[in-house]
Amino acid sequence: MTALSSGTELPFPGLRSGVELVPTNDQPQTGKEYTSDQEVRWCPGCGDYAVLKAVQGFLPDLGLRRENIVFVSGIGCSSRFPYYLDTYGMHSIHGRAPSIATGIATAREDLSVWVVTGDGDALSIGGNHLIHALRRNVNMTILLFNNRIYGLTKGQYSPTSEPGKVTKSTPMGSVDHPFNPVSLALGAEASFVARTIDSDRKHLTSVLSAAAAHRGTSLVEIYQNCPIFNDGAFDAIKGQGEFKDGKADAIIPLVHGEQIRFGAPDEDGRGSKVVVRDHVTGGVKVALAADVEDSAVLVHDAHATDPSTAFAISRLTAADYLHQAPIGIFRAVERPTYDDQARAQVATAREDAPGEPTDKLAALIGSGDTWTVV
């Protein structure tokens, strides 16, 4: 799947970069510098390892000063992430990482702020903070490790588990309906939404760099395998196990400016399946390339101001065992960030009221109706 790992423009031409105000490093860095002295304690084969490696490999390329990078996480297996990176970091409490990161990112324009969270952490207990961070568009990158299970608490179903899932807490099958994290984020006014896979390091890295380059909240859903409690949840996408031959049919690659095509290649080497507009529902649907005009094939536009098409594309994700899922950057649009605007208000107020803080304080507390007793 070469199409997956290419095509992301970096940084988006003409747009403000997410790391624009973060001091850069003039010395070349290595992944080793970003590796802390703490022993990594995930289960063998856990997808989190691959993501950690990809991030440790990618951060040096960002070229930022290491001390200006902050990773904040909630609680969960994935949320141990910050301990393994030699940057500033906080392993906080369950679900609250986006709010803590909001404080950090708003307080300091010179920091590159990252959130690491799980599907339970972000979408269950922390759902409120997630949607409000997206709506505010605080300049940070959220890595949502979606293993469709509660790993740390040993295997209960999560808000992304498929209907009917049998777990310790749902012996007769879950009757909960899952969230589609991408649809949720798009509905929450997100300015950057992407989906990638733990095992595709190249794609993961390209999405991470696009996310870091985006100014505003970037949400990256990472399909992450939990071999202990939900092994094989992404086998269809990864073309593994019983789905050995199904990968091409499962992944719908999204590349900005290119037609959305997938499935087994036709005689021209192009995907035999395409995404076209569905004039009945107003959404999009999958069609056989052979059945439609080439001009009818949807060209992916991640920069479209209106999120409707991106949302429609996100609905092509199968809720069950993921026999089909769009992968890539769904949406990347510029929108003023909360933190930039909040800081601008403070800066304007300061310019309008110059002077020594102590003098200003004396004037403030001495304001209003006063009287003097001698």
Partner 1 sequence: MSSQVQKQVKQLDRVIIRFAGDSGDGMQLTGDRFTQESAVFGNDLVTLPNFPAEIRAPQGTLPGVSSFQVHFADHDILTAGDAPDVLVAMNPAALKANLPDLPRGASIIVDTHDFSARNLTKAGYDANPLDLLGDANDPLGDFAVHPVDLTGMTVAAVKEFGLSRKDAARAKNMFALGLLSWMYGRPTESTIAFLTKRFAKVPAIRDANITAFKAGWNFGETTETFAVSYEIKPAPVSAGTYRNISGNLALAYGLVAAGVQSGLPVFLGSYPITPASDILHELSKHKAFGVTTLQAEDEIAGVGAAIGASFAGHLGVTTTSGPGIALKSEAIGLAIMTELPLVVVDVQRGGPSTGLPTKTEQADLLQAMFGRNGEAPMPIVAPQSPGDCFDAALEAARIAVTYRTPVMLLSDGYLANGSEPWRIPEITDLPVIEPNFATERNHVVKPAATAEDGTVTEEERDFWPYLRDEETLARPWAVPGTPGLEHRIGGLEKGEGHGNISYDPANHDFMVRTRQAKVDRIAESLPPLTVDDPSGRAKVLVLGWGSTYGPIGAGVRRVRKAGYDVAQVHLRHLNPFPKDLGEILKRYDKVLVPEMNLGQLSMLLRAKYLVDAIGYNHVRGLPLKAAELAEAIGNLVAEAEGITVDLSTTNDPHTAEEISR
Ligand X SMILES: Cc1ncc(C[n+]2csc(CCOP(=O)(O)OP(=O)(O)O)c2C)c(N)n1
The span from the CA of 183 to the CA of 309, in Å, is: 11
CA–CA dist 279, 198 (Å, integer): 35
Q: How far is the CB of 64 from ligand X (least distance, A)?
A: 26
Judged by CB under 6 A, the residue of 75, 85, 226, 284 near ligand SF4 is: 226
Q: Residue 298: what residue type?
A: L
Residue placing its CB nearer to Mg ion in the complex, 179 or 311: 179
- Applying CB under 8 A, does 20 fall inside the site for partner 1? no
With vertex at residue 6, the alpha carbon angle to CA 181 and CA 210, rounded to the nearest 5 degrees, is: 50
Instruction: Lay out the site mask for ligand SF4 across 164-193 (x = CB under 6 A, - = otherwise).
Output: ------------------------------
Evaluated on CA atoms 164, 47, 7, 302, the torsion sign reads positive
Task: Return the one option of ligand X, ligand SF4, Mg ion, none that residue 43 interacts with (CB less than 5 to 8 A, by type).
Answer: ligand SF4
Nearer to ligand X, 93 or 318 (CB): 93
Quick one: tokens of 55? 């991030």
Tell me: does residue 120 bind ligand X (CB under 6 A).
Answer: yes
Choose the binding region for partner 1 from 48-56, 59-67, 198-206, 291-299 (rule: CB under 8 A).
Answer: 59-67
Stretch that binds Mg ion, among 125-133, 145-153, 264-272, 325-333 (CB under 5 A): 145-153
β-bridge mates for residue 69, sequence order: 112
Angle, nearest 10°, between helix axes 338-352 and 97-107?
Answer: 40
Q: Which of 172, 155, 154, 173 is nearest to 164 (CA)?
A: 173
Distance between CA 177 and CA 164 in Å, rounded?
A: 9
CA dist 175 to 47, 83, 370, Å? 27, 36, 66
The site that binds ligand SF4 (CB under 6 A) totals a number of residues, namely 11
Chain contacts with ligand SF4 (rule: CB under 6 A): 42-43, 46, 48, 77, 147, 151, 226-229
Chain contacts with partner 1 (rule: CB under 8 A): 23, 36, 38, 65-70, 72, 75, 82-83, 86-93, 96, 98-108, 110-111, 128-129, 132, 342-343, 345-346, 348-350, 352-353, 357-358, 360-362, 364-374
